[in-house]
């Protein structure tokens, strides 16, 4: 998922919390001007992906595993009946 958020990253945290409820493994790749979130049922080798992307001249510092869990701690997962994206982006 490609996601754009403001400096407080409230939408990113909520989206990460949502993906953690669904997937066994979630990785966040900060890329210029946005974020790419990857959810999978098996762990993703984030460092390998970062090395492959670095060949194209883009440096990534992926966040995965416990790092994503700590990052999303306290964020309420988004649901059909709770998705205040406009408020999270303020």
Task: Look at the chain and report how many structural domains it folds into.
Answer: 1
What is the model's pTM? 0.87
pLDDT, one tens digit per residue, over 35-51 is 999 999 998 898 898 89
Task: State the residue range of the domain holding 36.
Answer: 2-78
Question: What's the Cα-to-Cα distance from 66 to each of 16, 33, 53, 55, 62, rounded to whole Å?
Answer: 12, 24, 23, 27, 12
Q: Is residue 86 part of a domain?
A: no
Q: Is residue 32 part of a domain?
A: yes
Q: Is residue 87 part of a domain?
A: no
Q: Is residue 35 part of a domain?
A: yes
Residue 83 confidence (pLDDT) above 80: no
């Amino acid at each position: 998922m490609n996601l754009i958020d403001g400096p407080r990253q409230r939408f990113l945290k909520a989206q990460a919390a949502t993906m953690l409820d669904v997937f066994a493994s979630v990785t966040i790749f900060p890329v210029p001007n946005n974020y790419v979130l990857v959810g999978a049922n098996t762990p993703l080798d984030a460092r390998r992906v970062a090395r492959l992307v670095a060949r194209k001249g883009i440096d990534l510092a992926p966040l995965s595993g416990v790092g994503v869990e700590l990052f999303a701690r306290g964020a309420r997962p988004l649901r059909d009946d709770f998705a205040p994206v406009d408020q999270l982006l303020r």
